[in-house]
Structure 1
Amino acid sequence: MFERIAELAIRRARLILVVAAVALALMGALGAGAFGKLLGGGYDDPASQSTRAGEVIDEKFDGETNLVLLVRTAEGRVDTPAARQSGRALVAELKKEQNLENVVSYWDTTSPDLRSKDGREAMVLAHVKGDDLERDENAKSVIDAYTGPYEGALTVQAGGGAAVTSEMGTQSGEDLLLAEAIAVPLTLVLLLLVFGSLVSALLPLAIGIVAIAGTFAELFVLGSVTDVSIFAINLTTALGLGLGIDYALLMVSRFREQLATGASVDDAVRRTVATAGRTVAFSAATVAAALAALLVFPQYFLRSFGYAGVGVVAIAAVSTLFVMPALFVVLGHRVNSGRLPWANRGRTATRAPLWGRLAGTVMRRPALTALPVLAVLLLAASPLLGITFGTPDERVLPEDAKSRQVSSVLQEKFNGNDDAALHVVIDKAVNKAPLASYAGELSGLEGVARVETSAGTYTDGRSTPSDPGNRALGRPDAQQINVVSTLSPKSDEAQSLVEEVRAVAPPTGSHPLVGGVDAELVDSKDSIGSRLPIAVALVALTTFLLLFLFTGSIVQPLRALLLNMISLGATLGVMTWIFQDGNLSSMLGFTAQPMEVSMTVLMFCIAFGLSMDYEVFVTSRIKELHDLGEDNESAVTNGLGHTGRIVTAAACLLAVSFFAFGTAKLSFMQMFGLGSGLAILIDAVAVRGILVPAAMRLLGHSAWYAPGFLRKLHGRFGLSEGGPAPGAAPGPVADSPYVKDPTQV
């Protein structure tokens, strides 16, 4: 296959480039509409109890409260005639809004629970209508129209889930622009330093642009037919730029190396595609396999990263395999044009004696060099022993975000937080007596401030005198019960309360559904936790299979999986130490909180896939030299000597793309960017530079072991880095259990 790709590029180079240019223009035009198709949210399991509770409330009770307008008087209390008049006028206007329903306010109900303890603020509760995309747009419209000064007497601020989601979407776009403004110039500078040639430096950047444009077009199409998260854009830009550059970097380096040996342009293209091209294909397959595991989760926030990740990897690989060889044919030796003054004209593109010497040192003293590195990585992983998980809320926003400020006021100044209440819904008729008994028992649970029903309000197991209840919570065929607590939202105590509420015996014959933000967190953790073993198993199985097909050994995949898990543990441990335990919070400007469960899973898959990316880069060259007859130590030393510089450069370039998101103001995007960048550097330096050669030395010849039936399987279906060069030393005998590719003997 790779030989045919090379020949096609040699014969039809200009045609391929014309087709690629047209495709890029079409993808750019289509991808420009992606932003209008993507959604905020997506953290909940559609089949969970909390989601089903929300659906019943939407259908029969005009929706859960997802917008809280905090109304503050300029002076005095909200009960003064002027404040009351302005408040009622505001509520009357809100009730006319077509995008809102179930509008409830202090001035309608005179409920003391909707007024702050000092009497200076009051709440207006509402439900913003629409699906996820429409709700984001509707919330923004209402917030823009009503927040700020109102009639001189009042000031309005917006909070609640709809406001938080809207601000997160806006902040995500700003973070993306800043990250790209940092990453792209730095990437170009690094490419110039790596290649010392302007033309060579621009080629990888071109592939990155193609990968991003193509994935934007894919997201536009997918967003037109299914739910896709707006945060998939962030992954597309970081991974598209990084992987496109990684793959093109490998191809350009190998092509320049072949030219430096005196090969003709056509022969250099053939050898580059047969070797580096094959590596790119396998590398892309391993990264895509890791990211495809995200598709097993029901939350579209995670699935969206699977869509974007698999798409960007595939597009980057395909464009590298077809467009890069065509560019090589057209450019020829001009690939070195625009050489910069400091560039050494005599050096090859990939040979790095430093890495070769490092590998040689490690292989002479494998235990002495590897044990300190392992100790440091295990120490870095130790914070995982205390890891806890949460879901995004207003705390991921900067402290000056309006919706976050509203949430703080609701928790500090009001009796219970209505916005964070548990919503219990019974989808059938319930008589008043059993409803009252059930509500009374719920109100007696520790941490519950009150329970609101159509039959009355209950506190400490008893009904509140002279409170007839909220008729809006009752329907002939359904009942809604609001459990308002004094607990901090998403705390361990609040999550325990969800389980306690669900454990209370309901009215006979009924099956209550419990929703609300705390219930959504409990259900999300359960949903992701139940599917995580499947995702991990799929990643491990597909990675093992691909690496076996690539190397012909069963030991190499096991070694790669073990080392990757160690480096991943270190990365996640450091992120836990920073973002959960709060270290460096003042410097980075975030609020410490439990690790965001979806983003942690995403970071695991991204880091694992990229680790395998560099695993293939290094193992491919070691395998090539081993197949040519070099002994194990020489193959590892020379293999790292050839690939070390490429891996280091690729890791730095890709890390820059991710580290740029460390400037984000959304804390979970900071964690994603810093964690992914750190994982790349740990893998490229500690794992590839030290642990891999140490492991290869300790394993010796058994590093290439495979049972007989698997050797035959690999001989038939396996793919190798490239056949031995003419006159190469013979490989091991065909019946050896350590043969890497019997077809080459």
Structure 2
Amino acid sequence: MSTYLHRLAHFSFRRRWLVLGVWLAAAIAAIVIAQASGGKTNDAFTIPGTEAQNASNVLSAKLPAFSGGQSTIVFATADGRLTDPAEKAAVKTAMTKLKAVPQVSNAVDPYLGHLVSANGRVALGQVQWSVQATDVKDANLDAVKAAMRPVQADGIQVEYNGSVYPGWQQKVSETPELVGLVIAFFILMITFGSFAAAGMPILGAIIGVITTLMGITAVASVITIASASTTVALMLGLSCGIDYGLFILSRHRANLLNGMTPEESVPLAMGTAGSSVVFAGLTVIIALSGLSVVGIPFLTAMGLSAAASVAIALLIALTLLPAVLGFAGTRVARFTRIPRFGARAARVARRAAVDPDTTAGAGWARFVVRHRVLVVVGGVALLGVLALPAAKIQLGLPSGASQAADSTQRKAYDLTTEGFGAGFNGALLVVAQDVGSPADTQQIAATLARMPDVAQVTPLAAQNRTSLIRLVPGSGPNDAATAHLVHTLRDDRAAIEGSTGTHILVGGTTASNIDVSSKLSGALPIFLIVVVGLAFVLLTFAFRTVLVPLKSILGFLLSMAAALGAQVATFQWGWGRQLFGITPSETISFLPIIMLAIVFGLSSDYEVFVVSRIKEEFSRHGDARHAVQRGTALSARVVTAAALIMFSIFVAFMATKDPTIKAVGFSFAVGVFLDAFVVRLTLVPAVMAIVGSRVWYHPRWFARHVPDPDIEGQRLEHRLADTETGAGSTAHALTTERT
């Protein structure tokens, strides 16, 4: 592999104008196609094979007027009662106006729907849309707000909840990305001490992200892609793009400072560091693509979108980066002189490149190797303690209770709970098929009303021999009691149907969330086996030993458990709620499986970066312990920079108000930090120092039948050295002959 990468880099270096033109053309083409396609991501998703999805399908076919999005309008007053004549007239007038809003199929005021609290201070209006939530036009939502203004002018508080409501889609902010890029540039400046070197990985990452996001937008015109897919793709596209460029550029600069010309250095850096980048990138792509085995379309789209962003980042590192380095020449090896701090950073960067054995990373490597046993015990104990809260993880999907305190959804949730009980925030929909008469519907409703933890049962509609019944649980949408109720209704469906001859399905948003969590929990072991198995094969092929990938996977499981523990303690238990501005709630049900995919992929990145340098040193002299110390020292600075960049980009996304994005950013940041610094730069070298040369053992048959990818580039360096020696001998012979 190193030979092919050497040739590819040599081509890109020599034909740099062509390579640059191709990538710019690709980015422009992606932008044009995306704009022409009109594609948009959305948050509508289906969960094939679940009962909630089957219930939704029946509604779409039999009761289409009730298959669209729903809005709940919460009216509240601190003074007086909503049953007073003036207040009642204002609310009824506003709800009547909604019936004329396009796409509204029905609007039921609180008095007709019998949804006024006992104290008369909270009332719920229901709006049924004729289309899915994602298809409701913004203009119609604005009309809803306009209809409510006279009510608000009379001193009545109005808040919104449901699957769609005014302001339900938050505007995407570019601030996290900009903050992440600024921090990344600052870290790269410290690492390289050069403006030119710091800017190149970021330039490549930006081109890659633009191309990827425009491609996702174009594809979104054909298939449904969740909005969160672009966020995850953006996170990984930026971080991986910068990291891969950083690793190759670091080796190139070292070559230049050791006297090589740019044309010699770029292909050699690609043939050595580039091999590690390829295997690291492939591991991330495998892990992300593995989300497809879960069987949930929106997760499949998310995983493939993120995998595409990493694949493009990898291609840019292998082709565009050598071309840009060709334009830069020796400028990347020059240190930028900035007064005070910048001058010190430049001196440190120069020393790290010229004499890596004197750096802080080298000192840390010596410490880890010297105290290897204590380091392993301490590191495992630390991760074990952090992982303890993970045993109490509770999965669920975001509800109004998890939103920011100043959001209309949170206010509506709290007012509804105060006036009626938490169950009114997550009503279940019972769909009865093959209904013979209204008496059948009434019999089913009466049976449902007698069941434990049921607060209210209301028949809503009947058509095409299908009835829709709303069931309000006595507990909140994310309470364990509600999940138990859903399972009880489904298990006892024969008793509920009785002698009516009907067939019922339990659906609705709350039931759908419960089904998603159940399906994700069931798919987790399969996903873990598939992804870890494929990565194990890939890493075994790369390093030609079983112990290295086994150690890598065990280390990942430790860091993953610790990151989940931190997530539970922070977002579920509420530790640090003031610091991060969060509302304690359940752990997002799809977060663990996404973390498994992404953190595992990124941890493999750092594993490859560190272990490939250790193997390179071991191949030169065969001293295992010295190879661990030297290889860790050589990779510590670049891995530290790469991990801090990843960490910073993920942390930047915590600035958003969306609790889902905030939880994702926090979990990824903690996972990357622990895996890079506690596992890869501490536990991995300590364990390898203990095991010694046995870590590189492989059977003889393995060496005979499995090709060596030469990930450390040793054969490439020998071939280039032989070529130079041969060329020198030929030149000497020609000179002698002429003499």
The verdict on a shared fold, with TM-score over 0.5 as the criterion, is yes
Measured against aligned partners, the alpha-carbon deviations of 1:25-84 in whole angstroms (never above 9, x if no partner) come to 333455568996010253x52331112212323443322562011234696433444344
How far apart in 1 are the matches of 2:270 and 2:162? 51
Q: Is the 8 A contact 2:248 2:274 kept in 1?
A: yes
Letter in 2 for 1:478: T
Counterpart for residue 43 of structure 2: 40
Which residue of 2 is the match for residue 537 of structure 1?
A: 529
Q: How does 1:386-405 map to 2 (within 5 A)?
A: 386-405=392-411
Q: CA deviation at 1:155?
A: 4.2
Aligned residue in 1 for 2:10: 7
How far did residue 698 of structure 1 move? 2.4
Residues 570-719 of structure 1 aligned to structure 2 (within 5 Å): 570-715=562-707, 718-719=709-710
Q: Distance in 2 between matches of 1:145 and 1:616?
A: 58
Contact 1:103 1:125 in 2 (8 A): yes
**Comparing 427-436 with 700-709, which one deviates more in the overlay?**
427-436
Distance 2:122 2:36 in 1: 41
Tell me the equivalent position of 1:290. Answer: 287
Judge conservation of contact 1:31–1:220 (CA < 8 Å) in 2. yes
Counterpart CA distance in 1 for 2:561 and 2:14 is: 48
Summarize deviations over 1:452-511 as a string: whole Å, max 9, x none.
23xxxxxxxxxxxxxxxxxx5222511122212231222011111111222332234433
Q: Distance in 2 between matches of 1:432 and 1:346?
A: 84
Which residue does 2:712 correspond to in 1?
721
Q: CA deviation at 1:410?
A: 1.3
CA distance in 2, matches of 1:33, 1:651: 38
Which residue is 2:51 aligned to? Answer: 49
- Residues 416 and 435 of structure 1, relative CA distance in 2, 3 Å threshold: farther
Q: Does 1:180 align with 2:172?
A: no
* Aligned partner letter, 2:289: A
Call closer, same or farther: CA 1:58–1:37 in 2, change over 3 Å: same
- Distance of 1:32 and 1:712 partners within structure 2: 53
Per-residue CA deviations over 1:542-596 (Å, capped at 9, x if unaligned) read: 1111101211111111111011111111111111111111111122221111111
* CA–CA distance in structure 2, aligned partners of residues 213 and 645 of structure 1: 29
Whole-angstrom CA distance in 1 between matches of 2:482 and 2:616: 57
Give the Å deviation of 1:383.
0.7
Deviation at 1:148, TM superposition (A): 3.6
Distance (whole Å) between structure 2 residues aligned to residue 149 and residue 86 of structure 1: 8
Q: Percent identity?
A: 27
Decide which moves more: 518-527 or 21-30: 21-30
What is aligned with 2:482?
494
Q: Which amino acid aligns with 2:712?
A: E
State the Cα distance separating 1:22 from its structure 2 match.
Answer: 2.6
Which whole-Å CA distance do the structure 2 matches of 1:299 and 1:475 have between them? 31
User: 1:231 is paired with a residue of what secondary structure?
Assistant: helix
Quote the offset at 1:346 in angstroms.
Answer: 4.7
TM-score (norm 1): 0.89
Between the aligned partners of 1:621 and 1:364, the Cα distance in structure 2 is 19
> 1:25 is matched by which residue type in structure 2?
I
Deviation at 1:680, TM superposition (A): 1.5
Partner of 1:412: 418
Aligned counterpart in structure 1 of residue 469 of structure 2, from 481, 488, 501: 481
Q: Which residue of 2 aligns with 1:128?
A: 129
Verify the 8 A CA contact 1:139 1:162 in the aligned structure 2. Answer: no
CA shift for structure 1 position 658: 0.5
Per the TM alignment, residue 699 of structure 1 is displaced from its structure 2 partner at its CA by 2.1
SS at the partner of 1:618? Answer: helix
Q: Which of residues 72, 86, 108 is equivalent to 1:68? A: 72
Give, as a single letter, the amino acid of the residue that structure 1 aligns with 2:135.
Answer: E
Structure 2 counterpart SS, 1:449: strand
Retained in 2: the 8 A contact 1:38–1:133?
no
SS across alignment from 1:115: coil
Q: 2:240 aligns with which of 243, 247, 252?
A: 243
Counterpart CA distance in 1 for 2:633 and 2:366 is: 10
Q: Quick check: 2:457–2:470 contact (8 Å CA) kept in 1?
A: yes
Shift of residue 200 of structure 1? 0.6
Question: Letter of the aligned partner of 1:488 in structure 2?
Answer: G
Distance 2:401 2:518 in 1: 22
Contact 2:101 2:144 in 1 (8 A): no
After the TM superposition, which residues 723-742 of structure 1 pair with which residues of structure 2 at under 5 Å, given as runs? 723-724=714-715, 725-726=717-718
Greater mean deviation of Cα atoms: 440-449 or 135-144: 135-144
Are the structure 2 counterparts of residues 568 and 321 from structure 1 closer, same or farther at C-alpha, using a change threshold of 3 Å? same
Alpha-carbon separation, structure 1, partners of 2:383 and 2:56? 44
My pick for the range that moved more, 595-604 or 506-515, is 506-515
Q: Is the 8 A contact 1:549 1:719 kept in 2?
A: no
For residue 430 of structure 1, the aligned residue among 429, 432, 436 is 436
Structure 1: how far apart are the matches of 2:251 and 2:378? 34
- The answer to which of 496-505 and 280-289 deviates more is 496-505
What does 1:265-284 align with in structure 2 at a 5 Å threshold?
265-284=262-281
Structure-2 separation of matches of 1:633 and 1:288? 32
In 2: Cα distance, 1:218 partner to 1:297 partner: 24
**Partner of residue 220, structure 1:** 217
| Matching residue of 2:727 | none
Q: Which consecutive residues of structure 1, in runs of 5 or more, have no partner in the other structure? A: 454-471, 730-745
Give the deviation of 1:601 after TM superposition: 1.9
Distance 1:245 1:639 in 2: 22
Distance 1:586 1:139, change over 3 A: farther
1:440 CA displacement: 2.3
Give the one of 364, 367, 376 matched to 1:370: 376
Using the TM superposition, give the Cα deviation of residue 419 of structure 1 relative to its aligned residue in structure 2, in angstroms: 4.7
**Larger CA deviation: 480-489 vs 264-273:** 480-489
Deviations 1:134-193 (A, max 9, x none): 1374774444443444384474634333246x745316x14xx33124222222222211
Paired residues of 1:117 and 1:415 also in contact (CA < 8 A): no
- Measured in 2, the distance between the counterparts of 1:151 and 1:255 equals 65
Q: Which residue pairs with 2:514 in the alignment?
A: 522
Q: Secondary structure at the match of 1:157?
A: strand
Distance (Å, rounded) in 1 between the aligned partners of 2:538 and 2:435: 57
Alignment partner of 1:221: what SS? helix
- The answer as to whether partners of 1:623 and 1:721 remain within 8 angstroms in 2 is yes
Q: Report if the CA contact (8 A) 2:445-2:457 is conserved.
A: yes
Q: Secondary structure at the match of 2:351?
A: coil
Q: Is 2:624–2:693's contact at 8 Å kept on the other side of the alignment?
A: yes
Is the contact made by 1:13 and 1:326 (CA closer than 8 Å) also made in structure 2? yes
Aligned to 2:170: 170
Structure 2 residues not aligned, in runs of 5+: 722-739
Superimposed CA distance per residue, residues 276-331 of structure 1 (whole angstroms, 9 cap, x where no aligned partner):
11111111101111111122234344223212210110011101100111112222
Residues 244 and 320, structure 1, Cα contact 8 Å, conserved in 2? yes
The one-letter code of the counterpart of 1:408 is D
Aligned to 2:734: none
Q: What is residue 97 of structure 1 aligned with on the other side? A: 101
How far off is 1:386 after superposition?
A: 1.1
Is 1:255 aligned to 2:255, yes or no?
no
8 A Cα contact 2:94 2:148, kept in partner: no
**2:333 is matched by which residue type in structure 1?**
N
Separation (CA, whole Å) in 2 of partners of 1:84 and 1:583:
43
Aligned residues: 703
Give me the whole-angstrom Cα distance separating, in 1, the residues matched to 2:185 and 2:33.
Answer: 26
Residues 38 and 221, structure 2, Cα contact 8 Å, conserved in 1: no
Match of residue 548 from structure 2:
556
User: 1:707 Cα deviation (Å)?
Assistant: 2.7
